[in-house]
Structure 1
Amino acid sequence: MANWFTGTGEDFRLLGTRCSDCASVFFPREDVHCRNPGCAGGALVEVPLSPHGRVWSYTDGRYRPPSPYVSDPELPWRPYTLIAVELPAERIVVLGQAVPGVTVTDLTVGMDVRAVPGVLYEDAETTWTTWHWRPVEVRT
């Protein structure tokens, strides 16, 4: 997922693009033309997206997705949690997996979450990196 995210720790950000004419933000990034049908199109500029958002929707994935998703068919399938996260500043919703261990019972619509680095899959030669959504702990 080249050029989809940058940074580590607190500096981790998903990368999108913003149209210089209409200010529409796109993720995954768009490098050819503005996707807004009402825009004649302007220059597309890379922008880091907000690190925090709110849970818009969520579900669990109980099936092995097809290629190009990488997984070992010889290993048992482990369900994972998918979260659709609204980034209010960008006015978009970004889909991604929850951090390992977070299930649908841990989530509520409107809950604050943060984008963090994650591992999609790894073998002896390669580690495929991605982003995960982690619930933000409420501190009292």
Structure 2
Amino acid sequence: MDIPRNWRLREQRYRLEGTRCTECAALYFPPREVCRACRSRALEPYLFQGEGTLFSYTVVYQAPEGFGEQVPYAVGLVELAEGPRLTAMLSDVELDELAIGLPLEMVIRKITEEGETGMISYGYKFRIRGSLSSTFH
């Protein structure tokens, strides 16, 4: 991801900022410009609390370019406490600990690094709620 785009998306990537429709109260992540439920354009920023449950998951063994050093790793479909679902890498967890319904919380972790002297991109991942791991993945 280039530096300008990384900067533009920082609220979404570091704070789980989505949108809420002021007409029907529908919540969205990532942010939308038009409400899918009522077609209103009256949307405002909404900050999700960053907690949810593991709705589904998969383990990646054949990673895309830039993620090869992280295999195997888990990617989960997380249902946020407020309702929307999002896809995120799972962190600070052993693969055999994963189970549908696990309580999760958002954490900020390194996502990619472009070589030894390139840009490091951080973003949200999810871990088991209450985990005390300080490991930086």
TM over 0.5: yes
Q: Judging changes above 3 Å, is the alpha-carbon distance between structure 1 residues 122 and 76 closer, same or farther for their aligned structure 2 residues?
A: closer
- Given the alignment, which residue of 5, 28, 34 partners 2:13? 5
Q: Judging changes above 3 Å, is the alpha-carbon distance between structure 1 residues 29 and 119 closer, same or farther for their aligned structure 2 residues?
A: same
- The separation in 2 between residues aligned to 1:134 and 1:77, in whole angstroms, is 16
Aligned: 1:120 with 2:111: yes
**Greater helix share, 1 or 2?**
2
Aligned: 1:52 with 2:51: yes
Q: Does the CA contact (< 8 Å) of 1:59 and 1:104 recur in 2?
A: no
- The separation in 1 between residues aligned to 2:102 and 2:69, in whole angstroms, is 31
Query: Which amino acid in structure 2 is aligned with residue 5 of structure 1?
Result: R
Alignment match, 1:26 = 28
**Superposed, which structure 2 residues align to 1:92-107 within 5 Å?**
92-99=84-91, 101-107=92-98
TM-score by length of 1: 0.75
Shift of 1:104: 3.2
Q: Moved runs in structure 1, 4+ residues, more than 6 A? A: none
Q: Which runs of 5+ in 2 are unaligned?
A: 1-5, 132-137
Instruction: Report the number of matched residues.
Output: 122
Q: Does the CA contact (< 8 Å) of 1:58 and 1:104 recur in 2?
A: no
- The separation in 2 between residues aligned to 1:82 and 1:105, in whole angstroms, is 14
Shift of 1:64: 2.2
Shift of 1:5: 3.2
Percent identity between matched residues is 26
**Superposed, which structure 2 residues align to 1:67-82 within 5 Å?**
71=66, 78-82=71-75
SS at 2:16's partner residue?
A: strand
Q: Which runs of 5+ in 1 are unaligned?
A: 7-12
SS at 1:117's partner residue?
A: strand
- The separation in 2 between residues aligned to 1:133 and 1:77, in whole angstroms, is 15
Shift of 1:35: 2.3
Q: Does the CA contact (< 8 Å) of 1:81 and 1:103 recur in 2?
A: no
Aligned: 1:134 with 2:135: no
Q: Judging changes above 3 Å, is the alpha-carbon distance between structure 1 residues 83 and 77 closer, same or farther for their aligned structure 2 residues?
A: closer
